[in-house]
Amino acid sequence: MSNALDTLKERLGEVSDINSAVSLLHWDQEVYMPPKAASGRGQQLATLSGLAHRMFTDAAIGDLLRKLQESDGLSPDDAKLVSEATHDYDQATKVPESFVQEFAIAQSKAYEAWVEARESSAFKTFQPHLETMLGLLRQKADLLGYEGSPYNALLGEYERGMTAEQLKTIFGELAPKQGALVDRIVNASDQPDLAWLDQEWNPDTQWNISLEVLREMGYDFDAGRQDKSIHPFTINFDTKDVRVTTRIHEKELFSGLTGSIHEGGHALYEQGFLDSDRRSVLGQAISLGIHESQSRMWENVIGRSQPFWNRYAPRLQAAYPGQLDGRTPEDFYRAINHVTPSLIRVEADECTYNLHVIIRFEIELALVEGDLAVADVPEAWNTKMKEYLGLDVPDDTNGCLQDIHWSHGSMGYFPTYALGNLYAAQLFETIEEALPDLWTQVEAGDFAPLLGWLRKNVHEVGRRNTAVELIENVTGKEPSADAFMRYLEGKYLPLYGLRD
Amino acid sequence: MSNALDTLKERLGEVSDINSAVSLLHWDQEVYMPPKAASGRGQQLATLSGLAHRMFTDAAIGDLLRKLQESDGLSPDDAKLVSEATHDYDQATKVPESFVQEFAIAQSKAYEAWVEARESSAFKTFQPHLETMLGLLRQKADLLGYEGSPYNALLGEYERGMTAEQLKTIFGELAPKQGALVDRIVNASDQPDLAWLDQEWNPDTQWNISLEVLREMGYDFDAGRQDKSIHPFTINFDTKDVRVTTRIHEKELFSGLTGSIHEGGHALYEQGFLDSDRRSVLGQAISLGIHESQSRMWENVIGRSQPFWNRYAPRLQAAYPGQLDGRTPEDFYRAINHVTPSLIRVEADECTYNLHVIIRFEIELALVEGDLAVADVPEAWNTKMKEYLGLDVPDDTNGCLQDIHWSHGSMGYFPTYALGNLYAAQLFETIEEALPDLWTQVEAGDFAPLLGWLRKNVHEVGRRNTAVELIENVTGKEPSADAFMRYLEGKYLPLYGLRD
């Protein structure tokens, strides 16, 4: 049996190595690749991705997995490895290669149409392609199988164990509460002063500050690096090579830094997998929601807190001589937590962000379940934007065409952004109990206790738990919006001089 | 038949894609990879290299090649593609995987021993490993097959078509002539002034100058980029993605720039393959010697010429205000062509370089043919250094342990460096006839005519000729040392105020 296990581990390790090369090809494409290399790179990515898929779905791996499932001499970790690999194998083999190819072709056409539609703000251009993608997504759901809503099959690719039914309950509770809070904030008389931010901020200084903060957070620069890209991202080739990117705008003091902190949170998660899980499915993220909980916790709960700015406000003042005179840490804290409903999700603040996600979830669910026609997406979008955020959508570019996801055939992905916020708040209530001196430590730049807690309770778990199991194990409660709403109200009511 | 051809091309294309990923993994390792990633990267490289080898040596490719060889409906290019791929396939399949693994293990041990031996200048530490490598190299020669000397099998991996017998003739003629020239130069009374170079040269300025020169040479930055690494190199992932690296020393004005020009010469070759040869064996370098002819021609024949420095001396003077006042272009020309016998090959000038190579060739040949025992390498080395360069070798670190090649099991590689010099000179005589205004153009920074000639006569040929065929086709003569000696004497005798 140990022979079969070793063979399995070696074969999965090889697939992992190829996937690492695929990731490096992607990383390079985003940060350093010269423009004319694009078509060659596309070819290389197609070849290697296809190869990794073929190697992983090889019948010999299925045989090994079946053999090992029947064995009862495996250690708990090895048994988990076999069951997780079996899950991935089943998912991968349920979808025939002909379907994967058809999907990829439709994807690429839909992406092109989306780019064009977005430029001319013409949903009609995108509509037939979204119809095709939706048809394929429904087929995919059938191929993968599901209980309850077909949406569950799609959601399960990103957030295994979570269901549309659960999301409806959680989001159904969250949306009105969050909407009411935003309403109060928007109407509060005590709005933050933002005029002092309207300056130019030296990009090199911004870059150096972002490196300093990453270092203090505990990001290991001997096992990673930061580069610049158009869209910030985190990518890993190995637990010992987890890289982040950021983008710097001269007119914006905070966006590069918060981008770095956000990606740093993702990266600390991936640098925190166990050494013994290298090249194994156990040394992988549980779900996108858990991944996002790590980035959001560092970015928002820590990086937009008053103690954090008690530490970093003076540093920024020293780094930009003459530009920040007379500003208090509270000025920074209030400015970086400025709440304002806006049309664009990726620019949304903590208080409004989930509302953007919920709009997308409701539309996706209705599409997949057949309750909404693709042609009616713009109207549904605009109605919901008015209802949840009080905004009129001027055109589809600033409305239902703003995100790339649907053109890629990603449905079930958006909810994981909101789940990340909820998980982060829920985990953080437990952390505050476990680490009573946490905020003093943050103010002193001592992030080691927090990181140590996350390592032990989240990172090192790898894929040994599902997201729901992890949240329940660690917090003693099932995932809900309660902690998040307590967090939001506890932070934003005083921040805007509002009574509870 | 066109079906078999398409299948072959697609399968070779896939192997090419994997090799591109292997190259990117190497590039990243040298320029950006964080240190802790080393072991994971080693694993990824082993997996992908092994995979590329297995895919290429698959029996199905052998079947396709046999089938296509018998067909007579192929275009000349396709017929060439089949015969070149067959050559590679035969070479790759002659060596069993068990031997490749044994070789890789011995390589890795020999490399470690070499590092240790070099640090302590103790050849004895390296000796048993070099004996093992030599035994394996002889086995490899037997596996590959050869006519004449077993050395030919090893040489053929780098310079197909060239033989030990030819090299003995060429080098046998070259060594005494080159030695005699060096003797005269060393004893010349008119030595260049180098004292003015002993300053600090801003690294950013050096970097910017190297980019400017690369651009003028015609290197396409939309299909490549320059980065920094410890050892300069050129690497390609695709004709549209050919990257160079350089290293900059603050105390050296010329070494970064000449490194960039050298690598730029390599890169122009690889950017010059035909678009229609992308992912094909035809879109590859003929041999290391031809590759080196391109880098050496740009670095030495062009980049160390008087017309080149007539152009760039004033630019360097403007770039380093106050540091180069009163220097003439001729001062630059004389300094950058300073000849001095030295112990270390990689620091050698144009006049002494080949002598270093010939010493290594003679030792390698004697080892492989069984005329020299490994234990006697240091003595043979030191004797030859005295004979060819007039130098006493103080220790093995500065002697027979200085190069990495033998620890990698590379024998037959060194001669290609010298061949590069000879090919460059031979090609250049033809170029000067074809482009009578060449030197005026160089002085004006107009490298397009030279590059155009190289594109047409060398780069675009790809693997349609062997090196010997190419040289004969283009110059009308077989490879020899004649042109190179004419070049050296024509340049260095006047430079040192010597009569012919």
Which chain A residues are closer than 8 Å to B226 by Cβ? none
Residue A126: the pLDDT is 97
Q: Considering B94, B112, B130, which residue would you say is the last residue of a domain?
A: B94
Question: Structural domain of residue A264, as residue ranges?
Answer: 121-500
Does A245 or B1 have the greater pLDDT score? A245
Crossing angle (nearest 10°) for helices B38-56 and B76-94:
120
Residue B1: the pLDDT is 60
State the pTM of this model: 0.94
CA distance B222 to B238: 13
Residue A461: the pLDDT is 98
Residue B211 touches partner A, C-beta closer than 8 Å: no
In three-state secondary structure terms, B317 is helix
CA distance A435 to A413: 32
B99 located within any domain? no
Q: A40 vs chain B: nearest CA distance in angstroms? A: 6
φ/ψ of residue A182, rounded to 5: -60, -45
B48 closest CB neighbour out of A13, A18, A239: A18
A419 located within any domain? yes
A 10 A CB-CB count for B432 gives: 12
A180 and A36 co-located in one domain: no
| Residue A426: both structure tokens together | 């829920």
φ/ψ of residue B162, rounded to 5: -85, 150
Which chain B residues are closer than 8 Å to A43 by Cβ? 13, 17, 279
CA distance B206 to B254: 9
A 10 A CB-CB count for A171 gives: 23
Residue A76 touches partner B, C-beta closer than 8 Å: no
C-beta atoms of B40 and A221 within 8 A:
no
Q: A5 vs chain B: nearest CA distance in angstroms? A: 19
C-beta atoms of B24 and A25 within 8 A:
yes
Query: Do B449 and B435 touch, CB atoms closer than 8 A?
Result: yes
B84 and B132 co-located in one domain: no
Which chain A residues are closer than 8 Å to B28 by Cβ? 24, 28
**Is residue B2 very low, low, confident or very high in pLDDT (cuts 50, 70, 90)?**
confident
Q: A21 vs chain B: nearest CA distance in angstroms? A: 6
Q: Which of B291, B279, B272, B288 is nearest to B18 (CA)?
A: B279
**Mean pLDDT rounded to a whole number for chain B:** 96
C-beta atoms of B37 and A225 within 8 A:
no
| pLDDT tens track for A87-126 | 999 999 999 988 988 998 899 899 999 999 999 999 999 9
Residue B240 touches partner A, C-beta closer than 8 Å: yes
Handedness of CA B269, B273, B279, B284 (dihedral sign): negative
Q: B21 vs chain A: nearest CA distance in angstroms? A: 6
CA distance B156 to B163: 8
- Give the active site residue among B102, B165, B263, B379: B263
A107 located within any domain? no
Handedness of CA A465, A471, A475, A479 (dihedral sign): negative
A354 located within any domain? yes
Residue A49: the pLDDT is 93
> What are the b/e assignments for B233-254, b being 16+ CB within 10 Å?
bbbbbbbbbbbbbbebeeebbb
DSSP secondary structure code for residue A404 in this structure: S
DSSP secondary structure code for residue B279 in this structure: T
Within 8 A by CB and 6+ apart from A306, the residues are A329, A330, A333
Residues paired with residue A236 on neighbouring β-strands, in sequence order: A242
CA distance B52 to B438: 43
The ranges of chain A with pLDDT < 50 are none
Indicate if the pLDDT at residue B351 is higher than 70: yes
Indicate if the pLDDT at residue B500 is higher than 70: no
- Name the residue with tokens 């955020």: A389
Which alpha helices (DSSP H) does B32-75 contain, by range? 38-56, 59-69
A67 located within any domain? yes
Q: What is the DSSP string of A45-93?
A: HHHHHHHHHHHHT-HHHHHHHHHHHT-----HHHHHHHHHHHHHHHHHH
Q: Which of B270, B306, B300, B264 is nearest to B285 (CA)?
A: B270
Does B235 or A101 have the greater pLDDT score? B235
A89 located within any domain? yes
B115 located within any domain? no
Residue B103 touches partner A, C-beta closer than 8 Å: no
Query: Do B230 and B459 touch, CB atoms closer than 8 A?
Result: no
Residues paired with residue A86 on neighbouring β-strands, in sequence order: none
C-beta atoms of B28 and A25 within 8 A:
no
- Give the active site residue among A263, A270, A350, A364: A263
| pLDDT tens track for B451-498 | 999 999 999 999 999 999 999 999 999 999 999 999 999 999 999 999
C-beta atoms of B221 and A39 within 8 A:
no
Which chain B residues are closer than 8 Å to A18 by Cβ? 47-48, 51
C-beta atoms of A43 and B240 within 8 A:
no
A224 and A77 co-located in one domain: no
B365 and B492 co-located in one domain: yes
Which chain A residues are closer than 8 Å to B280 by Cβ? none
Q: Name the amino acid, one letter, at A496.
A: Y
Active site residue A263: yes
A56 and A194 co-located in one domain: no
Residue A206: the pLDDT is 98
DSSP secondary structure code for residue A286 in this structure: S
Q: Nearest chain B residue to A44 by CA: give it.
A: B17
Query: Do A35 and B222 touch, CB atoms closer than 8 A?
Result: yes
Handedness of CA B424, B430, B435, B440 (dihedral sign): positive
| Residue B342 burial (10 A CB sphere; 0-12, 13-18, 19+) | middle
What is the Cβ-side half-sphere exposure of residue B315, based on CA atoms within 13 angstroms?
Answer: 17
CA distance B308 to B56: 45
Instruction: Please give the interface size between A and B, counted as residue pairs whose CB atoms are below 8 Å apart.
Output: 114
Residue A2: the pLDDT is 72
C-beta atoms of B32 and A225 within 8 A:
yes
Handedness of CA A437, A443, A446, A451 (dihedral sign): positive
**What is the C-alpha end-to-end distance of chain A, expressed in Å?**
61
Which chain A residues are closer than 8 Å to B14 by Cβ? 47, 51
A296 and A154 co-located in one domain: yes
Residue A11 touches partner B, C-beta closer than 8 Å: no
A131 and A27 co-located in one domain: no
B68 and B208 co-located in one domain: no
B37 closest CB neighbour out of A39, A47, A237: A237
Which chain B residues are closer than 8 Å to A28 by Cβ? 24, 28
Q: Name the amino acid, one letter, at B226.
A: Q
| Residue A169: both structure tokens together | 């309950």
A 10 A CB-CB count for B158 gives: 20
Residue B224 touches partner A, C-beta closer than 8 Å: yes
C-beta atoms of A34 and B221 within 8 A:
yes
Which chain B residues are closer than 8 Å to A32 by Cβ? 225, 227
CA distance A237 to A241: 6
CA distance B238 to B240: 5
A108 located within any domain? no
A30 and A83 co-located in one domain: yes
Chain A, residues 13-32, CB within 8 A of chain B, namely 13-14, 17-18, 20-22, 24-25, 28, 32
C-beta atoms of A37 and B223 within 8 A:
yes
CA distance B181 to B184: 5
Using DSSP, how many helices (H) and how many strands (E) does chain A show? Answer: 20, 3
> What are the b/e assignments for B397-411, b being 16+ CB within 10 Å?
bbbbbbbeebbebbb
| Residue A47: both structure tokens together | 């070849």
Chain B, residues 32-61, CB within 8 A of chain A, namely 32-37, 39-41, 43-44, 47-48, 51
B80 and B221 co-located in one domain: no
**Is residue B302 very low, low, confident or very high in pLDDT (cuts 50, 70, 90)?**
very high
Q: Which of A64, A52, A54, A62 is nearest to A6 (CA)?
A: A64
B25 closest CB neighbour out of A24, A51, A240: A24
Q: Which of B4, B8, B3, B1 is nearest to B279 (CA)?
A: B8
- Test the A interface: residue of B226, B238, B279 with most A CBs within 10 Å: B238
CA distance A121 to A497: 40
CA distance B240 to A36: 6
A383 and A456 co-located in one domain: yes
Q: What is the CATH number of the domain that holds A471?
A: 1.10.1370.30
Which chain B residues are closer than 8 Å to A41 by Cβ? 237-238, 241
In three-state secondary structure terms, A244 is strand
Chain A, residues 449-468, CB within 8 A of chain B, namely none
Q: What is the DSSP string of B211-259?
A: HHHHHHHT--GGG--EEE-SS--EEEEETTEEEEEE---TT-SSHHHHH
Residue A308's H or E segment, with its range, is helix A306-319
DSSP secondary structure code for residue B192 in this structure: P
Strand A226-228: give its sheet, edge to edge.
Answer: A226-228, A241-246, A234-238
In three-state secondary structure terms, A227 is strand
A203 and A352 co-located in one domain: yes
Q: Name the amino acid, one letter, at B156.
A: G
A 10 A CB-CB count for A62 gives: 14
Q: Nearest chain A residue to B240 by CA: give it.
A: A37
Which chain B residues are closer than 8 Å to A47 by Cβ? 13-14, 17-18
CA distance B376 to A134: 75
Domain count for chain A, please give it.
2
